[in-house]
Amino acid sequence: MKKGVLFDLDGTILDFEKSEDQALKRTFLKYGIPLTEDQVFLYREINRKWWKLLAEGKVSKDVVVVARFEEFLKTLNIPLDPRKVAKDYLEFLSEEAHFLPGAEEFLERLKKKDLRMAVVTNGVRFVQEKRSRKLKLDRFFEFVLTSEEAGVEKPDPRIFWLALERMKLKKEEVLYVGDDFSSDLEGARNAGIDFVLFSSDGDSSGDFPVARNFKELEKIVEEFL
């Protein structure tokens, strides 16, 4: 029987693509450069690659937040300082907080079931904290634990163990919900926690349940209670 649920934040509860898109366009408009949709897509591909390297333990987060813009600017031959662009982007990103459609109502329903909830995220700490305040996530979650605070990134099991310690729950008493294979699935497995993949086009052929929307996710969570 589960007593609590740990959630990833971006792509699971929050609409990161929307936040990323708006923050990226605002950043480059600051320099008088309107980005095309193709250029935004290119950035996303580059960004995804660097976060995957982070999950694989090959680079640090400090490297990721700048290197993705170094590569992006170099590819487009835009003569801007990647460190300054990276800083501007994170500032804009911290102001862009949007629930995925149905997420807020889903969390409200779970809260009424007296289910304990918290967040484990690899996102940049000040960005996640500011977005959490903007959306008043403390209505639902006991805490938002960032990898910077934990000192390790998912899929390192220690970030999950720290979350369990804070909740005073055993790994058997918690379910973890995330959208990423390299950080979320591997992290849950490393920590010995049951995992649910949240993905609109998720393949259900794995040895874990898949929720394509919040209605399906709520049903899966209830089955663990």
Cα–Cα distance for residue pair 143/166, rounded to 1 Å? 9
138 is catalytic: no
Phi, psi for residue 174 in degrees, rounded to 5: -125, 145
Beta-carbon contacts of residue 37 (< 8 Å; ≥ 6 apart): none
Q: Which of 8, 10, 156, 179 is catalytic?
A: 8
Residue 79: other Cβ atoms inside 10 A: 6
Among the listed residues 225, 11, 34, 51, the one whose alpha carbon sits nearest the alpha carbon of residue 153: 51
- Residues known to be catalytic: 8
